[in-house]
């Protein structure tokens, strides 16, 4: 009720406007595409770095502390500061300026959860693999990583959701995907419809990607469902 009242108070500048969405569908779709691309690239690079790091920490116990500590420090550094560290070197016109910050931020979540997943591999499974003559790499790819998948997927889901939200910080240099709509609307005389469209799509994108990853995780680990039953 109060929501409708608020709409009536300011008929010229509503929070939700289909008119705006229709008139600017090209801009909105371009921003959404940029946002999704940045997220996908960041997650791809982060996964390619973080999962091997987790495996190294799993194989060489003394390295576990330093690896977790380093990614923890990177995670403590504010996102805007990371952007400030990278931008003077890479310039403000390229998406990769934002990409580097996103990757560094996603590392901790993936490393920590992948390591937790690897540590949960039952010792019996490892012994059995060893008894069957698996080498270190064979065991890694056919026993350890598949059994650690639930942990890895959890890490990927958390990292993806926070990355989608974090991309918007890039709007400070005009590389923020949907964040450009949000900040652009704010600067464009507080155009509420533009801000709200960007924000809603951003949360929606995070939820959709989270759901996709959760489904993929379930399909990839059919055994965990059987155990649950």
Partner 1 sequence: MMADNPIGQAVIWLNDPLNWTNPGGVLDRLGEHLWISGAAVVLGCLVAWPIGMWLGHAGRGGGAVVLISNLTLAIPTVALLTILPLTFLGFGKPPVIVALAVFAVPPLLANAYTGVRSIDPEARDAARGMGLSGWQVLGRVELPLAVPYLAAGFRTASVQVVATAALASFVNGGGLGQIISAGFGLGTAVAGGQILAGGILVALLAILVEAVLAVVERAVTPKPLRKARGRAARRAAAATGSA
Binding site residues, partner 1, CB under 8 A: 73, 76-85, 87-89, 91-92, 158, 161-162, 164-166, 168-169, 171-173, 176, 179, 182-183, 185-186, 190, 192, 195-196, 198-199, 202-203, 206-207, 210
Nearest approach in angstroms of CB 112 to partner 1 is: 14
Distance CA(140)–CA(148), nearest Å, equals: 10
* End-to-end Cα distance, the chain: 45
Nearest approach in angstroms of CB 210 to partner 1 is: 8
The residue among 147 and 179 lying less far from partner 1, judged by its C-beta, is: 179
Helix locations, the chain, DSSP H: 2-9, 18-23, 25-59, 64-76, 79-90, 96-119, 123-131, 136-139, 145-167, 178-187, 192-220, 222-228
Nearest approach in angstroms of CB 11 to partner 1 is: 15
The residue among 110 and 195 lying less far from partner 1, judged by its C-beta, is: 195
The residue among 52 and 127 lying less far from partner 1, judged by its C-beta, is: 127
Q: Exposed, middle or buried, 104 (CB in 10 Å: 0-12/13-18/19+)? A: buried
Nearest approach in angstroms of CB 28 to partner 1 is: 15
The residue among 24 and 162 lying less far from partner 1, judged by its C-beta, is: 162
CA torsion, ordered 192, 195, 201, 203, to nearest 10 deg: -110
Nearest approach in angstroms of CB 133 to partner 1 is: 28
Q: Give the Å distances, CA to CA, from 217 to 41, 106, 153, 203.
A: 19, 19, 6, 21
The residue among 8 and 222 lying less far from partner 1, judged by its C-beta, is: 8
């Amino acid at each position: 009720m109060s929501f409708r009242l608020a709409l009536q108070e300011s008929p010229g500048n509503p929070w939700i406007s289909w008119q705006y969405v229709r008139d600017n569908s090209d801009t909105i779709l371009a921003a959404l595409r940029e946002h999704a691309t940045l997220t996908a690239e960041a997650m791809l690079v982060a996964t390619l770095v973080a999962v091997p790091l987790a495996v190294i920490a799993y194989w060489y116990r003394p390295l576990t502390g330093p690896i977790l500590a380093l990614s923890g420090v990177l995670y403590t550094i504010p996102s805007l500061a990371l952007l400030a560290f990278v931008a003077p070197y890479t310039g403000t016109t390229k998406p990769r300026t934002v990409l580097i910050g996103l990757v560094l931020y996603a590392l901790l979540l993936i490393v920590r959860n992948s390591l937790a997943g690897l540590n949960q591999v039952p010792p019996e499974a490892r012994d059995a693999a060893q008894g069957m003559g698996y080498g270190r790499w064979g065991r890694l790819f056919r026993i350890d990583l598949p059994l650690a998948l639930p942990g890895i997927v959890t890490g990927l889901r958390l990292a993806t959701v926070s990355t989608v939200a974090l991309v918007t910080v890039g709007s400070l240099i005009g590389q923020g995907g949907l964040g450009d709509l949000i900040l652009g609307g704010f600067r464009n005389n507080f155009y509420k419809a533009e801000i709200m469209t960007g924000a809603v799509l951003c949360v929606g994108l995070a939820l959709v990607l989270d759901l996709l990853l959760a489904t993929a995780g379930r399909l990839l680990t059919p055994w965990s469902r059987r155990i649950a039953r």
